[in-house]
Amino acid sequence: MTLDPITLSVIQAGLQQVCDEMDLAFSRAAFSPVIAEANDRSDGIYDAVDGALIAQGVGGLPVFVGTMQYSTRTLISMIKDGRVGAPEPGDIYIVNDPYLGGTHLMDVRFARPYYRDGTLFCWLSNTGHWPDTGGAVPGGFSASATSVEQEGLRLPPVKLFKRGAMDAEIYSIICSNIRVADQRIGDVKAQAAALDLGAARLDALLDRYGDDVVAAAIGELRQRAAAQMRSFIDGITPGPHRAIAYVDSDGVVNEPLEIQLSVTREGEDLLFDFTGS
């Protein structure tokens, strides 16, 4: 399908607006100041097949925007392998495992399958920083921790909502392992409500332009984004380009940590070498 530039731009802006409204709803409804006031959250739309980013909110926290596609991809893979239950309309998965595309345990991610006429069209996902997920110290930032289990409750992808209803047993497990548990329901419901709003807004966009047109626009936007990135890479000299930066400390030994990076272009690829770090 060939789309004219104006239609393509309007649909692109429409997809971004869906994410912006999810961001706004999440912040306005959340109980935790770190979300409601600091906007430590992000929302996005992700591909049904490979979890790749389709659209993101303008005000989304960059670290979440950059990682949610990997957690969505991991969730899709685990569903295919049978390690996670297959999605149904109204389901919402929860996950905070840093080793499954996350960041740290306090960044809790929700993922909701979005259906059109019984077919999975895409995934809606968001992440919010919860004030606490248990562990050795309040807030989870334990400088003396030597394993992830010491930092808090670690959740693999599980269905916190099943067909629109929250699983009270899973929620009780979460609340039994975190501090100030009675306040978490506000963040949980805000996070889920943002995804509900995203689904409603996406319904309106698809109803207006048609599923095939929007799907074609998404495919075209992905191709153009890839071509744009290749053009940027093509403008980089072969290198190597080297840089050194420092992290204050590792939280245990009070000495700077040196990060060495060498970047080399090979055709359309960039190679990042951290040898010496």
Give the tens place of pLDDT for each residue, 28-55.
999 999 999 999 999 999 999 999 999 9
Which candidate, 62, 10, 70, places its Cα nearest to that of 39? 62
Can you give the residue ranges of every domain in the chain? 5-225, 241-273
Q: How confident is the model at residue 228 (pLDDT cuts 50, 70, 90)?
A: very high
183 confidence band (pLDDT: 50, 70, 90): confident
Instruction: Determine the Cα–Cα distance for residues 21 and 19; give it in Å rounded to an integer.
Output: 5
> Does residue 146 or residue 196 have the better pLDDT?
196
| 113-138 tens-digit pLDDT | 999 999 999 999 999 999 999 999 99
Give the mean pLDDT of the chain: 94
pLDDT at 81: 96
pTM for the structure as a whole: 0.91
